[in-house]
Structure 1
Amino acid sequence: MNTMTYKGYNARIEYDPRDDIFVGRVLGVRDIISFHASSVSQLHEAFHLALDDYLADCAERGVTPERPASGKVMLRIRPEVHAAATIAAQSAGKSLNQWADEVFERAAQA
């Protein structure tokens, strides 16, 4: 996946061969923040402008901008998976949060 990062926000980039442009969309927020351009340098500029416009609009409306991640994850998993993860964490000498953070990081980088 091709991505760009700006001010802590990430965007997925795809090429649209029909229109011969790059299209981007900010990930991890409910609001739709999209942009497009015909070159990579223009795409960077369009991403920055789209995100800056989103942040300015939030400020103007007195709304806190949505962040891609808060650092808190609530999961519903099967009890046997929960038990196995707890045992794996304890075997590694870690809390379940520490263990899960490492597992998530490895999975996200794969």
Structure 2
Amino acid sequence: MMNIVEINGYRAVVQYDPDIDMFRGEFIGLNGGADFYAKDIDGLRKEGEISLKVFLEMCQEDGVEPRKAYSGKFNLRVSPTLHAEITARALAEGKSLNQWVADVLDESLHVH
């Protein structure tokens, strides 16, 4: 099971690794890799802050933007049947296929 935690404004995916009996966090959306490990959540946050600080310092030294830039475009492959079904639903709601999919994705992220 994966979870997302925010540390100093940056998001990291956290999972438990039973092979090493530790939690592992990995920052996402960065122009490079930054991971961290700890036995408990408090330690994970502390190690995450250290890992992030080192990563950000290296980016500053190298003149690299730490956050990855996203274009807002991606390809999605679905079955022809699903394609037809979502197109029909989008049209029924008076939306373009793109807008309908964007709305559904946005709603799925904001449901608690």
TM-score, normalisation: structure 1: 0.69
Shift of 1:34: 0.6
Cα distance 1:59–1:83, how it changes in 2: closer, same or farther (>3 A)? farther
1:90 matched residue in structure 2: 91
2:73 matched residue in structure 1: 73
Cα distance 1:46–1:12, how it changes in 2: closer, same or farther (>3 A)? same
Shift of 1:86: 4.2
Q: What are structure 2's unaligned runs of at least 5 residues?
A: none
Q: How many residues align?
A: 109
1:19 matched residue in structure 2: 20
Give % identity.
33
CA RMSD of aligned residues (A): 3.2
TM-score, normalisation: structure 2: 0.68
Q: Does the 8 Å contact 2:7/2:45 carry over to 1?
A: no
Q: What are structure 1's unaligned runs of at least 5 residues?
A: none
CA distance in 2, matches of 1:24, 1:77: 29
2:62 matched residue in structure 1: 61
1:9 matched residue in structure 2: 10
Shift of 1:60: 1.5
